[in-house]
Amino acid sequence: MSELLFDEYTKYSATRLSELGVSEEPASFLSTQGLPTWCAPNAHFGFVDDAELPLFEIDAQRYVGLGEDRDGNVIALEVNTLEIWVLIEQQSPVFLAASLKELSLSLNEFQHCINSAVAHDAEAYVLNRIAPSFLDPFVKWAEAENPRLVQQGAFWASVLSWLGMHNQSLERTRVGQPPLAAQLQR
């Protein structure tokens, strides 16, 4: 994660992570590198409901709360798979990233796109009027990194939709569809 891109990082307690059953590699990443305290898309990493690293159990899965999204939903690490999910009340968890590394990379890529859009139009993000041309680099990156990131129903697909990248732009990320890069080369 780029130290210059984000102002502050939240580092988590290695002891608490170990107590919760988080394996050594992700615990080391979270306690030494950490996650940005605030970043686009209005995500906050740190305390969740005034608790550090709360544990959530949903359908026999154990999730460690790392932060919250723009709607106050918990962003969590699934202890066994080490995937990152958004826990939305009375819904199934929503996929965010396959690993902490992928989460870190996706936050960096997305922040770069948002920074470019805001440099062009200072109110673009606040008013949800980011031109697709500023978001396309993120979509291309995500499709190359892990198409699950932007498949319909995933967290990033909802963020892109919220920012105005609707239907046609995201439809191409459905399973069996050619990736964006292939469509652009036609």
Secondary structure (DSSP) of the chain: --TTT-S-EE---HHHHHHTT--HHHHHHHHHT-EESEETTTEEES-BTTBSS-EEEETTEEEEEEEE-TTSPEEEEETTT--EEEE-TTS--EEEESSHHHHHHHHHHHHHHHHHHHHH-TTTTTTT---HHHHHHHHHHHHHH-GGGGSTTSHHHHHHHHTT--THHHHTTSTTSPPHHHHHT-
Full pLDDT tens readout for the chain, 186 residues? 545 678 899 999 999 999 999 999 999 999 999 999 999 888 999 988 777 899 999 999 999 999 999 899 999 999 999 999 999 999 999 999 999 999 999 999 999 999 999 899 888 777 877 888 999 999 999 999 999 999 999 999 999 988 877 644 454 444 444 444 444 343
Query: Domain coordinates of the chain in residue numbers?
Result: 9-99, 102-184
